[in-house]
Structure 1
Amino acid sequence: MSGLQLDGVIKRYGATQVIHGVDLTIEDGEFCVFVGPSGCGKSTLLRMVAGLEETSAGRIAIGGRDVTRLDPAERGVAMVFQTYALYPHMTVAENMGFGLKMTGHPKAEIKAKVDEAARVLKLGDYLDRKPKALSGGQRQRVAIGRAIVRGPEVFLFDEPLSNLDAELRVEMRVEIARLHQEIGATMIYVTHDQVEAMTLADKIVVLRAGRIEQVGAPLDLYNDPDNQFVAGFIGSPAMNFFAGEPAEGGVRVPGLGDVTVPAPRTATGTVTVGVRPNHLELTEGATHMVELSEQLGGVSYHYLTGPDGAKIIVEAHDQRAPKPGSRVGLRFNPARAFFFDGGSGLRLR
């Protein structure tokens, strides 16, 4: 297996530039997830690595080999798409081995590789079935098996779970994580779902408008975001943001009940204060209006409106639920707050 290097990678469609000078290193055997909102360029960047989109400028290297201008078949990659793209008239075994058959590999070699991929993916009992006799999760495993038998240097996944229902998504997420642990391959995975990113990745690349906002391990991005965009995108439910004003002793936050919290010395001018839902606690008081409470058993989410109209989510791990329309107070540890420049959105440390 091999790592991946992107140096100043740019993508243009005519006069419109959609990928802006991306520099990125993915180590051998690493599971890297591209995440970001729709239209951020994550799938375009993945397709450039695969060779399905031409690279307008910059360099792409796999295993130290420059593949920027090579055809997809010459790059040593295998891609798993959002749709399964299985041949309905072929069996599971025939679907998985079709690529090797077309490149002239011996039947015995194809069978051995298909059997091994079926063992890894727990598909041994389904090799003689047609796709129509499989569940959605099983079909996606066949698509992954088709990639495995090719023995690629890098696996590419383009939102492979988005067509599955919620239960199957969780099941397949576990399967893909187990697959990575077993074969130790370099994998690049595209998703808009930050929960998938947090649970699967060794490294997350957060993209916005064709640029990298931050790269790091999941918990590093969660605990130490570089800017307000990353702070709001990583974490579920999303971080709460409040307008803050410099005041004596720190930053005054009307949305939290007009409290003043200690802030970094760099907090001058307009400041945005971020607090995660699990760092807020309901208390006796009348500063915030309860709009709705969602009780999910082990966790509850309370949706509040602050005195300045700010919308707030509080995560609680008890089964108390204030009535909609009632008023509550809020408490939090100021040391848990994040501070961002009100103009640029950059983190103030």
Structure 2
Amino acid sequence: MTGVTLNGAIKRYGDVQVIHGIDLVVEDGEFCVFVGPSGCGKSTLLRMIAGLEETTEGQISIGSRDVTKADPSERGVAMVFQTYALYPHMTVAENMGFGLRMNGVPKAEIAKKVKAASDILKLDDYLKRKPANLSGGQRQRVAIGRAIVRGPEVFLFDEPLSNLDAELRVEMRVEIARLHKEIGATMIYVTHDQVEAMTLADKIVVLRAGVIEQVGAPLELYRDPDNRFVAGFIGSPAMNFLNGTVKDGAVDVPALGRAVSPTVKLPPDGTAVTVGLRPEHMEVHPGKGALHADLSEALGGVSYLHLDTPTGERIIAEERGDDRAREGDTVDITFEPRRLMLFDGKSGLRLR
């Protein structure tokens, strides 16, 4: 197995630049997830690594090889797409071994590799079935198996779970995580779902408008985001953001009707800032304060309370335990000052 390195990778379509000088190292055996909103360039970047999109400028290396101009077939990668793209007239075994057969690999070797892949993916009972007789999750496992039998240096996944229902998405997420542990291959995975990113990744690359906003381990990005965009994108439900103004050594937050004291060095008085607070870092006190409980999402062990503030800004607070606020209640919230994050009101950069 081997890693992937991008140096100043740029992609243009005519006069329109969509990838802006990406520098990135994906280590050997690492599970790296590209995450970001639709249109941020994550699938384009993946296709550049695969060779399905031409790299306008910069360099892409797989291991020690410069593959910037190499054909996709020469890069040693296998790609799993959002759509399964299985041949309906072929069995599972035939679908998995088709690429090897086209490359003239002997039948005995094909059968051996297909059997090894089916053992990993628990497809032994389905090898003689055709795709029409499989569930969505089983079809996606076949598509992954087709990639495994090729023995690639790098696996590329382009939103492979997007077409599955919620239950199958969870099941396949576990399967892919288990697959990575079992074969130890370098994997690059694209998704817009930050929950998938958090649960699968060794390293997350957060993209916006063709630029890397931050790279790091999942909990690193969650606990220590560099800017408001990353703070709001990583975590579910998203971080709450409230407008504030620095005043007399604290931050006046009109939505809360009081000043707060983040444990960071504050800019000069009068500076506009944004206060960030995660739903799970608040404690709700019914019967007090000036916040109105508009909606409560009860999910069993946890509830998410949607609060209206006097300024019209919205807050989501997490509640656990048996004593929870109800819709229509008036509540107050408290929190530890160390839990607050502060962002520059104009640039969105984190103030530390």
TM-score (normalizing by structure 2): 0.97
SS in 2 for 1:55: coil
- Distance change (3 Å), C-alpha of 1:263 and 1:342: farther
Q: Does the 8 Å CA contact 2:262/2:340 hold for their aligned counterparts?
A: no
1:334 and 2:334 are equivalent in the alignment? no
Shift of 1:265: 2.3
Q: Does the 8 Å CA contact 1:300/1:319 hold for their aligned counterparts?
A: no
Aligned to 1:106: 106
Identity across the alignment (%) = 71
Letter in 1 for 2:284: L
The 5 Å alignment of 1:139-158 reads 139-158=139-158
Letter in 1 for 2:198: M
User: Which shifted more, 251-260 or 75-84?
Assistant: 251-260
SS in 1 for 2:29: coil
Of 304, 309, 328 in structure 2, the residue corresponding to residue 306 of structure 1 is 309
Aligned to 1:270: 272
CA–CA distance in structure 1, aligned partners of residues 278 and 73 of structure 2:
45
Letter in 2 for 1:96: M
Letter in 2 for 1:272: T
CA–CA distance in structure 1, aligned partners of residues 234 and 326 of structure 2:
30
Deviation string, structure 1 residues 151-209 (Cα, Å, up to 9, x no partner)? 00000000000100000000000000000000000000000000000000000000000
CA–CA distance in structure 2, aligned partners of residues 63 and 154 of structure 1:
10
Letter in 2 for 1:20: H
Shift of 1:320: 3.5
The 5 Å alignment of 1:142-221 reads 142-221=142-221
Deviation string, structure 1 residues 222-242 (Cα, Å, up to 9, x no partner)? 000000000000000000001
Q: Does the 8 Å CA contact 1:51/1:72 hold for their aligned counterparts?
A: yes
CA–CA distance in structure 2, aligned partners of residues 252 and 263 of structure 1:
14
Aligned to 1:322: 325
CA–CA distance in structure 2, aligned partners of residues 281 and 287 of structure 1:
15
Letter in 2 for 1:225: P
CA–CA distance in structure 2, aligned partners of residues 199 and 246 of structure 1:
37
CA–CA distance in structure 1, aligned partners of residues 250 and 170 of structure 2:
43
Aligned to 1:234: 234
Aligned to 1:39: 39
Q: Does the 8 Å CA contact 1:339/1:348 hold for their aligned counterparts?
A: yes
SS in 1 for 2:255: helix
1:346 and 2:349 are equivalent in the alignment? yes
CA–CA distance in structure 2, aligned partners of residues 324 and 116 of structure 1:
55
Q: Does the 8 Å CA contact 2:260/2:337 hold for their aligned counterparts?
A: no
Aligned to 2:252: 252
CA–CA distance in structure 1, aligned partners of residues 61 and 51 of structure 2:
12
**How many residues in Structure 1 have an aligned counterpart in Structure 2?**
349
CA–CA distance in structure 2, aligned partners of residues 81 and 267 of structure 1:
47
| Structure 1 segments of 4+ aligned residues over 4 angstroms from their partners | none
1:282 and 2:275 are equivalent in the alignment? no
Letter in 1 for 2:16: T
Deviation string, structure 1 residues 290-339 (Cα, Å, up to 9, x no partner)? 11001111000000011211100001112434332321111111110000
Letter in 2 for 1:83: T
CA–CA distance in structure 2, aligned partners of residues 203 and 260 of structure 1:
33
Letter in 2 for 1:332: F
TM-score (normalizing by structure 1): 0.98
Letter in 1 for 2:283: E
Q: Does the 8 Å CA contact 1:253/1:261 hold for their aligned counterparts?
A: no
Letter in 2 for 1:308: T
CA–CA distance in structure 1, aligned partners of residues 347 and 130 of structure 2:
54
Letter in 2 for 1:187: M
Shift of 1:266: 4.4
CA–CA distance in structure 1, aligned partners of residues 72 and 179 of structure 2:
23
